[in-house]
Amino acid sequence: MIKKILIANRGEIAVRIVRACSELGITSVAIYSDADRHALHVKKADESYNIGSDPVQGYLNAHNIVNLAVASGCDALHPGYGFLSENPILAEICARRGIRFIGPNADVITMMGDKIQARKAMIKAGIPVIPGSDHNLANVEEARVLGNSIGYPVMLKATNGGGGRGIRRCDSEAELLKNYDRVVSEASKAFGKPEVFLEKCVVNPKHIEVQVIADGFGDAIHLFERDCSIQRRNQKLIEIAPSPQLTEAQRQYIGKLAVKAAKAVGYENAGTVEFLLNEDNQFYFMEMNTRLQVEHTITETITGVDIVQEQIRVASGLPLQYKQEEIQHRGYAIEFRINAEDPKNSFLPSFGRITRYYAPGGPGVRTDAAIYSGYVIPPYYDSMCAKLTVWNLTWESAIARGRRALNDMVVFGVKTTIPYYLSILGNEEFRSGEFNTSFVDMHPELINYDAGHPPEMLAAAIAAAIAAHNGL
- State the sign of the Cα–Cα–Cα–Cα dihedral 227, 230, 234, 237: negative
| 20-26: Cβ within 8 A, 24+ apart | 20/306, 20/308, 20/309, 20/312, 21/46, 21/312, 23/306, 23/309, 24/309, 24/312, 26/1, 26/2, 26/312
Q: In the prediction, which pLDDT does 160 show?
A: 85
The torsion defined by the Cα of 188, 14, 303 and 249, in degrees rounded to 10, comes to 0
Q: How many CB atoms lie within 10 A of CB 350?
A: 20
What whole-number distance in Å separates Cα of residue 277 and Cα of residue 14? 33
Q: What is the chain's pLDDT, residue by residue, as a tens digit (472 residues)?
A: 899 999 999 999 999 999 999 999 999 999 999 999 999 999 999 999 999 999 999 999 999 999 999 999 999 999 999 999 999 999 999 999 999 999 999 999 999 999 999 999 999 999 999 999 989 999 999 999 999 999 999 999 998 877 678 899 999 999 999 999 999 999 898 888 899 999 999 999 999 999 999 999 999 999 999 999 999 988 999 999 999 999 999 999 999 999 999 999 999 999 999 999 999 999 999 999 999 999 999 999 999 999 999 999 999 999 999 999 999 999 999 999 999 999 999 999 999 999 999 999 999 999 999 999 999 999 999 999 999 999 999 999 999 999 999 999 999 999 999 999 999 999 999 999 999 999 999 999 999 987 654 544 455 555 556 666 666 5
What whole-number distance in Å separates Cα of residue 435 and Cα of residue 396? 15
Q: In the prediction, which pLDDT does 362 show?
A: 97
Query: CATH 3.30.470.20 spans which residues of the chain?
Result: 206-456
Which SS3 state, helix, strand or coil, does residue 387 take?
strand
Q: In the prediction, which pLDDT does 468 show?
A: 63
Is 100 noted as a catalytic residue in this protein? no
Beta bridge pairs of residue 32? 50
Q: In the prediction, which pLDDT does 265 show?
A: 97
Beta bridge pairs of residue 221? 213
Q: In the prediction, which pLDDT does 166 show?
A: 87
Q: Which CATH number describes the domain made up of 131-200?
A: 3.30.1490.20
What whole-number distance in Å separates Cα of residue 143 and Cα of residue 137? 6
Match domain 4-102 to its CATH number in 2.60.120.370, 3.40.1410.10, 3.40.50.20, 3.40.50.2300: 3.40.50.20
Exactly one of 10, 291, 313, 337 is catalytic; name it: 291
Q: In the prediction, which pLDDT does 472 show?
A: 55
Backbone angles phi, psi at 36, to 5 degrees: -105, 15
Which SS3 state, helix, strand or coil, does residue 265 take?
coil
Fold of 206-456: D-amino Acid Aminotransferase; Chain A, domain 1 (3.30.470)
First to last CA, the chain: 42
Query: CATH 3.30.1490.20 spans which residues of the chain?
Result: 131-200
Q: In the prediction, which pLDDT does 192 show?
A: 85
Counting DSSP H helices and E strands in the chain, the numbers are 17, 22
Query: CATH 3.40.50.20 spans which residues of the chain?
Result: 4-102
- For 326-378, strand residue ranges (E) read 332-339, 341-342, 348-349, 352-353, 356-358, 365-369, 376-377
